[in-house]
Amino acid sequence: MSFLNPGFLYLLPLVALPFIIHLFAAKVQRRAKFSWVRLLRSAQYEGKKRRRLLEILILILRSLAILSLIMLAARPFRGELFKFRYLVVDFSPSARHDTSKIFSIAEEVKSKGLDVYFLDDRLYEKPVPYDMPAHFKKLGSLEKPAIILSDFQSSNVSDFKDTSFLAVKLRPPRDELKILGVRVQPGITMQGFEASLKVFMKATRRMAVRLNLYREEKLIAGGNFEVNPDSVNQLNLKFIPEKGGIWKAEVLPLDELPEDNVRYFNLTVLERLRVGIIGNNKFIARALNPFRIKNYPVQVTNDIQANFAGFDVIFLTNPDIPLEKLIRVIRYVESGGNLVIFTDKITAPIINALGLNIEPVESAKVVIEKDTLTFPRAIAFGDGKAILIDSKGRKIAVIKPFSKGRLVLVGLPADVSETLFPISPSFVPFVYSLLERLFSVKTNTRVTTAGTPCISLIDSNLTVITPEGEKVTCKDLNFPKVGFYRGEWSFGVNLPPSEAEERFLSDQELDDHFKAHTSLENFENMLRSSRSFTSIFVYFLIFYVLVESLILGWKFRL
Amino acid sequence: MLNSELISKVKPLRLRARLIVEGFLTGLHKSPYHGFSVEFKDHRSYNKGDEIRWIDWKVYARTDRFYVRRFEDETNLMAYILLDNSASMGFVKEKFEYAVNLASAISYLLFLQRDAFGLAVFNEKIETLVPPRTSRVNLSHVMSILDGLKTHGQTDLSSFRVLAERLKKRGLVVFISDMMKEPEEIITGLRMFRYRKHEVIAFHILSPEETKISGRARVFEDMETGERVPFDPVNLQSEYQERLNSHIEHIKKELRKSNIDYEFFLTSEPIELALYRFFKKREKLR
């Protein structure tokens, strides 16, 4: 049993009050003279026998009456206490678009909630901007239930599944236009946007829409957009702006256009990382920029020949390059450039030329023949103070610093041909991780797009040791949980791999989901239970008053 | 009949007694004489002017002549008023006052009848004893004693044995008390006078406060013994009244068994009315 107002339980000792008064009153009785007390004693002796039981019953009755009063105030009910503590207000552009009075609604919900739903006095109000689920998590995973004021457009309802909440839909979408939590992440690519749109259209069973793009409420572009669910049509998306900012995309049907069918996409273009590749390795280039998108965060230039200085990092996919080019690479590194070498073998002249001081560990299965160092299945990772280890974490060699630049040596298995590169589906996130960790560049590649290998397959034994000596595996690298879900397009970065097969909820399922995870039902149960208890106590108090009146009437012969 | 409140405000006891007696006599509309005299003496021939009610109809039936009954000379009656002044009589002021008024009224009545009357005031002993006299001086003496009485001590009727022995001539004993004592002790005490062939009248005086205790629960202390008993009048009223009634009934029954006249007076009843009721009853019995 729980209580809506448990504070009143501190009054429980008052239950003993009738007994205390009875005992106390007996001790402090006033004195009076009487002519012959023998008669009184005899009457008392006679009466006591008959009245003792009645007296005790009355005292118990009075105690129970006090208990009833306390319980009426404390409001018991069956089950656990359910109090809303948070009022989460979705302040995303979509939520506030046509609801400029969102805070007044919030106030209304709050005041209603305080009366109707027993909101905790310590109610927190926190406007949640774009990334509502992330903020929602920041609220401390909400041990206490929350009222969420949102249009539930940019958030998948499953983000809230671990929290009891009362959903207040600001603007319930029409059934035929229900948006099922498709999220578009910062840094979305054109393909990503298109895919998102496609998912939306599939969900709303629309094959053609009109897409209007606004910037700060000003229409800057628009056009018809037809989608074949099985293909990607990029033609009509050329007007996706190169600059970042918050853009409103109106996805409109061609025939009849409902006014409330507006979605917002955050199309933020980020700082780009300029990557040059020596060796014209198309697989590396594909991994870094799968669709060779011009405005992709990682801008790749293949087979650079001359100006290394224009690149943030240079990928050397084949160290067996002419000496002249090697000298330029060395100068680039010495002047602060970043070099990543992908290779399965490295020759002594290159090692010497790069100034690497590689000391192979005897136990390591590093094959050295004819001045060539061939790695077993291993990768290397370092910035001049690295330890070269193999895939099982065994130390292969120690690479000593040679310059102020940074160098990463990625050892590839010797038996892998170039055509099969990249051999591991985890290669791309690994490369991005390298870029982030080594070059302090925010690649912001948390969202991948079509064709990106699924991170759920990252369970290889890639292990690296950081310059600080920390041993990390790919699993620990906090790769984004991105999804390429069996042919379905999805951009929900927070969808765990285990739910890769998660499909969008049908209307009924959505309702069921809300029912299952909102507190209304629990709350109604709680109130119903509390009401039934209240009735019991009220009936008892009526009974008590009647009994007490009868006793008084009998005593004073009213 | 004078207002009883007015009577109670009259200071001189003698005057008060007179007012009471005359009050109830007015109510009776009968001769005050022979009120207590019950001793039949002889017959004499009816003369014109005699009251018809004293004609002995049985003699008339036998002799066909009118004879009237004559009673023993009033001066032959020796009356003793035994007044209880134990502490319990002072439970409320009115209670003892009532007893004193009753005693004084009876004294005055006896004086009017030219009966000799004496007074014995007792608690655990005979505190004051005035031998029976018919004189006016005696009346004044009795009145002055009654006027100055105060309640104290415990009721103890064992001293009645000595008193009963002292009363040589048969007479009338008027016992005035609240009888807040064990019934057997009271009955035994009064029977001592009956053994001596005295006629005994017991006046049982209680105040309404004693018959129905009011107020909240408190500890009651016995005015005579100091014994304490916690008692809740609200809860135990009926039991108390039951006990009290049983106590009264027991005394009444036992006294009547011993041919002792018993009369219960509640102080809320005007004294003259109570006396009127008493004499009417006696008249019927005669």
- Tell me the CATH number at B151: 3.40.50.410
Residues of B in contact with A37 (CB under 8 A): 220-222, 225, 227-229, 231
Read off the pLDDT of residues B9-54 as tens digits, 9 standing for 90 and up: 555 566 666 666 665 555 443 443 444 555 566 777 888 777 787 7
Q: Which of A361-375, B116-130, B252-266 has the lowest mean pLDDT?
A: A361-375
Q: Does B218 touch chain A (CB under 8 A)?
A: yes
Which range marks the domain in which residue B66 is found? 38-71
Q: Using CA atoms, how far apart are residues A268 and A241, in angstroms rounded to an integer?
A: 9
Average pLDDT of chain A is 56
Q: Using CA atoms, how far apart are residues B104 and B21, in angstroms rounded to an integer?
A: 9
Contact between B28 and B276 under an 8 Å Cβ cutoff? The reply is: yes
Q: Which of A60-74, A512-526, B201-215 has the lowest mean pLDDT?
A: A512-526
Query: In this prediction, does ipTM exceed 0.95?
Result: no
Among candidate residues B18, B52, B71, the one where a domain is terminated: B71
Instruction: Look at residue A251 and tell me whether its pLDDT is greater than 60.
Output: no
User: Does B6 fall in a domain?
Assistant: no
User: Does B272 fall in a domain?
Assistant: yes
Q: Do A556 and B234 touch (CB under 8 A)?
A: yes
User: Does B12 fall in a domain?
Assistant: no
* B209 and B67 part of one domain: no
Read off the pLDDT of residues A20-51 as tens digits, 9 standing for 90 and up: 888 877 666 778 888 888 888 888 776 676 67
Instruction: Look at residue B173 and tell me whether its pLDDT is greater than 70.
Output: yes
Residues of A in contact with B240 (CB under 8 A): 39-40, 43
Q: Do A47 and B247 touch (CB under 8 A)?
A: no
Q: Does B230 touch chain A (CB under 8 A)?
A: yes
Higher-pLDDT residue of B283 and B259 is: B259
User: Does B214 fall in a domain?
Assistant: yes
C-alpha dist (Å) from residue A139 to A119, A128, A156, A274: 17, 10, 17, 37
* B248 and B207 part of one domain: yes
* B92 and B190 part of one domain: yes
Transcribe A386-429 into DSSP letters.
-EEEETTS-EEEEEEP-SSSEEEEEE--TT--GGG-S-STTHHH
State percent of chain A over pLDDT 70: 25
Q: What pTM value is reported for the model?
A: 0.42
Q: Using CA atoms, how far apart are residues A316 and A432, in angstroms rounded to an integer?
A: 16
Q: Using CA atoms, how far apart are residues A491 and A263, in angstroms rounded to an integer?
A: 15
* Both structure tokens of A394: 């065994």
User: Does B78 fall in a domain?
Assistant: yes
> What residues of chain A have any CB closer than 8 angstroms to a CB in chain B?
25-26, 29-44, 46-47, 51, 55, 555-556
User: Does B230 fall in a domain?
Assistant: yes
Q: Do A37 and B228 touch (CB under 8 A)?
A: yes
Q: What amino acid occupies position A518?
A: T
- Half-sphere exposure (Cβ direction) of A448: Cα atoms closer than 13 Å: 23
Contact between B222 and A37 under an 8 Å Cβ cutoff? The reply is: yes
* B234 and B271 part of one domain: yes
Strands A357-360 and A313-316: unpaired
**Closest C-alpha to A429, from A519, A497, A502, A338:** A497
pLDDT of residue A301: 79
Q: Do A29 and B217 touch (CB under 8 A)?
A: yes
Total of domains in chain B: 2
Nearest to B230 among A29, A42, A46 (CB): A29
Nearest to B239 among A36, A43, A555 (CB): A43
> How far A61 CA lies from chain B's nearest CA (Å)?
17
> How far A544 CA lies from chain B's nearest CA (Å)?
19
Among candidate residues B71, B94, B119, the one where a domain is terminated: B71
* Both structure tokens of B286: 């005669």
Read off the pLDDT of residues A125-155 as tens digits, 9 standing for 90 and up: 444 444 455 555 544 444 445 666 655 544 4
Average confidence (pLDDT) over A490-495: 26
Beta-ladder partners of B126: B122
User: Does B26 fall in a domain?
Assistant: no
Among candidate residues B71, B93, B122, the one where a domain is terminated: B71
Q: How would residue A372 be classed by pLDDT, with cut points 50, 70 and 90? A: low
* B87 and B151 part of one domain: yes
> How far A530 CA lies from chain B's nearest CA (Å)?
39
Read off the pLDDT of residues B207-265 as tens digits, 9 standing for 90 and up: 998 888 888 778 888 888 888 888 888 778 888 888 899 999 999 999 988 888 898 99
Q: Using CA atoms, how far apart are residues A84 and A353, in angstroms rounded to an integer?
A: 67
pLDDT of residue B123: 87
**Closest C-alpha to A516, from A165, A87, A77:** A165
* B47 and B115 part of one domain: no
pLDDT of residue B8: 56
Q: Do B243 and A39 touch (CB under 8 A)?
A: yes
Contact between A377 and A390 under an 8 Å Cβ cutoff? The reply is: yes
pLDDT of residue B192: 87
User: Does B30 fall in a domain?
Assistant: no
| No. of helices (H) and no. of strands (E), chain A | 12, 25
Cis peptide upstream of residue A422 (ω within 30 degrees of 0)? yes
* B205 and B276 part of one domain: yes
* B161 and B258 part of one domain: yes
**Closest C-alpha to B171, from B132, B126, B113, B120:** B132
Residues of B in contact with A43 (CB under 8 A): 231, 236, 239-240, 242-243
Nearest to A42 among B88, B228, B243 (CB): B243
* B280 and B185 part of one domain: yes
* B64 and B100 part of one domain: no
* B122 and B201 part of one domain: yes
Q: Do B236 and A25 touch (CB under 8 A)?
A: no
> How far B169 CA lies from chain A's nearest CA (Å)?
35
* B216 and B280 part of one domain: yes
Read off the pLDDT of residues A429-450 as tens digits, 9 standing for 90 and up: 555 555 554 444 443 333 232 2
Which segment, A186-195, B70-79, B85-94, B163-172, is predicted with the most confidence on average? B85-94
